[in-house]
Amino acid sequence: MPTEHYAPRLVPPQRLWRLPSWLVNQISVLAYRLVIDAFSGAGFRRDHYAVLSGLEEYGPISQAALCRRLGIDRSDMVAVLNLLEHDGHALRRPDPTDQRRNAISITAAGRRTLRRLDGLVARAQDELLGPLSARERRHLVSLLQRLVDFHVGTPDGAGDSVE
Amino acid sequence: MPTEHYAPRLVPPQRLWRLPSWLVNQISVLAYRLVIDAFSGAGFRRDHYAVLSGLEEYGPISQAALCRRLGIDRSDMVAVLNLLEHDGHALRRPDPTDQRRNAISITAAGRRTLRRLDGLVARAQDELLGPLSARERRHLVSLLQRLVDFHVGTPDGAGDSVE
DNA sequence: CAAATCTCAGCGGCACTGAAATTT
DNA sequence: CAAATTTCAGTGACGCTGAGATTT
């Protein structure tokens, strides 16, 4: 027999409520759910979108270079590209200038898919940022960018023809 | 034969760089690494810290209520409490007023551990927020809190003696 | 009976490690 | 030879689902 019939407003512990890492993780899970839901109908995942984005922007590029730019592990990249290649969204060819590398490129079908996913992503962002004004959204994005920029830093110099 | 010997500044794709959900996820991973590293030496995980925080703040409480406040799944909570109970950091007793529930409470050892973890967490936050001023940190936290608050909303009324 | 609670088994996405094979 | 690239096998934390047993 509940003693509270009115919405009790479930408050998280003060310790966590003040904790940037906890807050960021909560939002990350929320964003994860929104984007996953948006993509699931189309049969894609977040890494697929990230990789297609990278391929369109950078043109032919090696897997390792893509990994560095996207912050995706080399091992996961293999699996993602297997799928994208199998579905005809990406192309994997040996790099003529360096036999160790693959030259990955996006296909026309990949570009079409990317555009479709763009719309789904945009709607998810809007849901995520719900209560924030346009100005606050810009501010938030800018703060997050500074943090990412600071931490990613300059991991390594590794540039080449397919870089 | 690399053509760039100077730090190339690895830029993520514009699409992702402007995307709040992507940025948040990147920071979340950074925070994850920092906190995991901080805790690993002590043999704890993030949920352990969250649960101990909740137990100290709310006193004896049921598992389901704790789950609601912390945003942890009921299934994971079982496993975490098994560990905490085994290590003497938490106590699991049947709730006399409702036989379905467990009344979970923190022990003296749990409080000591919590204090120790507080210090580790604080250092990790500082590393995470590195480049931001105190004012910017407050602003960021406030924006994140608004988002969490908005999305968690008021999931359910479920209050009782152990709530 | 419906609803809530606790527990267990299991799944899928995700970040990551280690090692092998090849090439530079 | 050291270093980089691709690939594969496997690990662990994490968020979540479904179902069963019990109690309200």
Coil, helix or strand at residue B102 = strand
Chain B closest CA to A72's CA: distance in Å?
10
Q: Poorest-confidence range of A159-163, B54-58, B83-87? A: A159-163
Q: What is the pLDDT of residue B58?
A: 95
B57-89 burial by CB neighbour count: b if 16+ within 10 A, else e? bbebbbbbbbbbbbbbeeeebeebbebbbeeeb
Name the average pLDDT for chain B: 90
Q: Which amino acid is it at B143? A: L
**Contact between the CB of B100 and strand D at under 7 Å:** yes
Q: What is the pLDDT of residue B47?
A: 96
Interatomic CA distance for residues B86 and B79, integer angstroms: 11
Is the pLDDT reported for residue A22 higher than 50? yes
Do B160 and A11 lie within an 8 Å CB cutoff?
no
Q: Is the CB of residue A5 less than 8 Å from the CB of residue B8?
A: no
pLDDT value of position B161:
57
Distance CA B43, CA B82 (A): 15
CA–C1' B64–C6 (A)? 9
Distance of alpha carbon A24 from the chain centroid? 15
DSSP A3: S
- Angle among Cα B82, B36, B11 to the nearest 5 degrees reads 145
A23 touches strand D (CB under 7 A): no
A6 closest CB neighbour out of B21, B70, B157: B157
For residues A108 and A88, the answer to whether their CB atoms sit within 8 Å is no
The whole-angstrom separation of Cα A57 and Cα A54 is 5
Q: Which of A111, A110, A93 is nearest to A102 (CA)?
A: A93
Q: Which pLDDT does position A40 carry in this prediction?
A: 84
Local confidence band at A153 (pLDDT 50, 70, 90 cut-offs)? confident
| Tokens describing residue A151 | 């931490």
Q: How confident is the model over B3-19, as a mean pLDDT?
A: 73
Kindly report, residue by residue over B62-78, the tens digit of the pLDDT: 999 999 999 999 999 99
In 3D space, the residue among A69, A75, A115 whose CA is nearest the CA of residue B22 turns out to be A69
Report how far residue A158's alpha carbon sits from residue A41's, in angstroms, rounded to the nearest whole number: 37
pLDDT of amino acid A149: 94
**3-state class (DSSP) for residue B104:** strand
Instruction: Give the nearest partner residue to A28 out of B25, B35, B132, using CB atoms.
Output: B25
Residue B59's pLDDT band (cuts 50, 70, 90): confident
Q: Which residue has the tokens 């996006």?
A: A106
pLDDT top residue among B156 and A108:
A108
Q: Do A31 and B24 touch (CB under 8 A)?
A: yes
> pTM for the whole thing?
0.91
pLDDT reading at A46 higher than 70? yes
CA of B34 and C1' of C17: distance in angstroms? Answer: 18
pLDDT, tens digit (0-9, with 9 covering 90-100), for B116-130: 999 999 999 999 999
